[in-house]
Structure 1
């Protein structure tokens, strides 16, 4: 599609809702969407690779990135930092490519202040009970940490009215199809294209 600038797509939702799984499946379906790798100070989980799943940073490294304004957004979540390196996102959008950010709710709301023209999608679990089951199923966190995540999740769900779209992650493939439909529709909005096609009339 003829356009000057790509979309910034922000996918967020409570911890355990399946953001990473949905983004991974989306990348396999739509190779045109560029994935922005986040930075974090949390420890890698089994199977995660540095520079692929996340940029794993020490607390000192991350705080240097904050001071030097190298992050588009960042948030502290359950004693760890999460953030989005700025340069890749800005350069990719400027080239006309779509970029998807898979980030926590705090970070998504920061991005909305900087990029209000972005497309903000809240990924919703089928139920609170299912969300707890998914977090417990990881087998990586204590009961106290799981309880903390559930409390935060309920507060985050209350913020879904800040988003443009809500997608339920009942089945990964269905969630991916819904997101693809949103991206297609957003790319066809007249507000994003009208000035380009007016130029055709003036030529």
Structure 2
């Protein structure tokens, strides 16, 4: 036996090693076999068989059986009941949703059955619940609309939302799950305005490609005037909230010759949306005007002056006008433009000032020409003004970039001493409360015009942040009112 085993081991037929070609052939054969095995399997969802026949009442109508597969995502369609015929119709197809991607369901289609269940006598909310709770395959029996050419080219209308919206708190929405929540300042791309009441939109920057419903401008305006709807009217600033924010005593300009001209629609009290477009600064254009507005305690003048002093060749300040006498160390056109009271009053009547006021019987004011003078030298002009001045500056000429500066208020600030905060030591709790109120009210009144909020902890860190913002203003793409870009 040992001899037999030995001879078997030594047999050339047994010891012969396979060639490289043989190994390659075996490997390819295994791959092809695995491919054939996988290809013969069907990984699609298993759908129920088509019905053998349709209802007798539908024999003379064009009936379409539509099968959709959805998981946790909404179907992407809303329905309504025709007031005359009582038929259940598809009211909207949400762009990018399951129904839209299928290409099989269209606005105006009449819905007869869902998963074999007649729905003609069910309420739209009951039908919506059935659709939303269905998982996997959904079979719809549909009578197609007369025209199925619904797929329109997606619009390129972009809006900045000027109010907060939560669809689950809106009883008027046709489908709360189909609503798009957004915050003031969000950029919305409107993909369909076919419905005058509810538009379809996406929020720019979202990874979700499905459109959702937002109230149209006309519908939201009606809501604003409804006694049952909370008003979106922004609150005015109370005089007490600004009593120490003025660096000089400003006259009440209501009815005076220097009253600013009527503001653009974006500054009106009833705020819905503002149409915007992307704007890329170009080296050949004048720089954008940078406007600093600040709540009580922000001390934005020192912030502005420090940034300008660090780089006076790149940043500039609009030299103000005054009627007081020039001091010995002052230079004409540097610290101030010195003019007579009569000339100042004539300039008021000519509306050359963005704002002006009176202090110790002398007038002070900042003119439009002073701003243009800085911009014409290709410098970024920084102005700190009361926010009412935006009514005049909000133009395509200046394209203002608005920075809202507010102090960081620590709860225990009034108990601390030697704090590094920008707020003065020893202020009272009443002072802190007034500062908080000033910041809140200014945000409510003018927040829709603000491009950036800068919370000022201390002067040094605020300067670093402001310089970074200014660099981005010059180089990055920003959303601006569409009228500003059309005039460039």
Return the TM-score normalized by structure 1: 0.64
Count of matched residue positions in the alignment of Structure 1 and Structure 2? 176
Aligned to 1:24: 305
- Give 3-state SS (helix, strand or coil) of 1:28's partner: helix
Aligned to 1:153: 438
- Cα offsets for 1:91-119 (capped at 9, x unmatched): 33233221111112222343225656211
- 8 A contact 1:41–1:56 mirrored in 2: yes
Q: How much has 1:23 moved relative to structure 2?
A: 1.1
- Give 3-state SS (helix, strand or coil) of 1:17's partner: coil
- 8 A contact 1:9–1:100 mirrored in 2: yes
Q: How much has 1:134 moved relative to structure 2?
A: 4.3
Quote the Cα distance in structure 2 between the aligned partners of 1:17 and 1:59: 31
- 8 A contact 2:291–2:385 mirrored in 1: yes
Q: 1:68-147 counterparts in 2 under 5 A?
A: 68-71=350-353, 73-74=354-355, 83-113=365-395, 115=397, 117-127=399-409, 134=424
Quote the Cα distance in structure 2 between the aligned partners of 1:157 and 1:103: 15
- 8 A contact 2:297–2:406 mirrored in 1: no
- 8 A contact 1:75–1:107 mirrored in 2: no
Quote the Cα distance in structure 2 between the aligned partners of 1:135 and 1:102: 24
Quote the Cα distance in structure 1 between the aligned partners of 2:461 and 2:371: 27
Quote the Cα distance in structure 1 between the aligned partners of 2:396 and 2:340: 26
More helix by share: 1
Aligned to 1:8: 289
Quote the Cα distance in structure 2 between the aligned partners of 1:135 and 1:84: 32
Q: How much has 1:25 moved relative to structure 2?
A: 1.2
Gap change, CA 1:189 and 1:177, over 3 Å in 2: same
Gap change, CA 1:173 and 1:51, over 3 Å in 2: farther
Structure 2: gaps spanning 5 or more residues: 1-281, 325-329, 414-420, 479-488
Quote the Cα distance in structure 2 between the aligned partners of 1:124 and 1:54: 27
Q: How much has 1:3 moved relative to structure 2?
A: 2.9
- 8 A contact 2:286–2:378 mirrored in 1: yes
Q: How much has 1:123 moved relative to structure 2?
A: 0.8
Q: How much has 1:70 moved relative to structure 2?
A: 2.2
- Give 3-state SS (helix, strand or coil) of 1:159's partner: helix
Q: 1:27-66 counterparts in 2 under 5 A?
A: 27-31=308-312, 32-39=314-321, 62-66=344-348
Single out whichever of 27-36 and 61-70 deviates more from structure 2.
Answer: 61-70
Gap change, CA 1:54 and 1:135, over 3 Å in 2: farther
Q: How much has 1:170 moved relative to structure 2?
A: 1.2
Q: How much has 1:62 moved relative to structure 2?
A: 4.4
- Give 3-state SS (helix, strand or coil) of 2:383's partner: strand
Gap change, CA 1:123 and 1:64, over 3 Å in 2: same
Gap change, CA 1:76 and 1:29, over 3 Å in 2: same
- 8 A contact 1:14–1:105 mirrored in 2: no
Quote the Cα distance in structure 2 between the aligned partners of 1:101 and 1:123: 13
Give 1 or 2 for the bigger CA radius of gyration: 2
Quote the Cα distance in structure 2 between the aligned partners of 1:128 and 1:58: 46
- 8 A contact 1:13–1:157 mirrored in 2: no
Structure 1: gaps spanning 5 or more residues: 43-47, 138-145, 192-203
Aligned to 2:457: 170
Quote the Cα distance in structure 2 between the aligned partners of 1:49 and 1:157: 38
Aligned to 2:467: 180
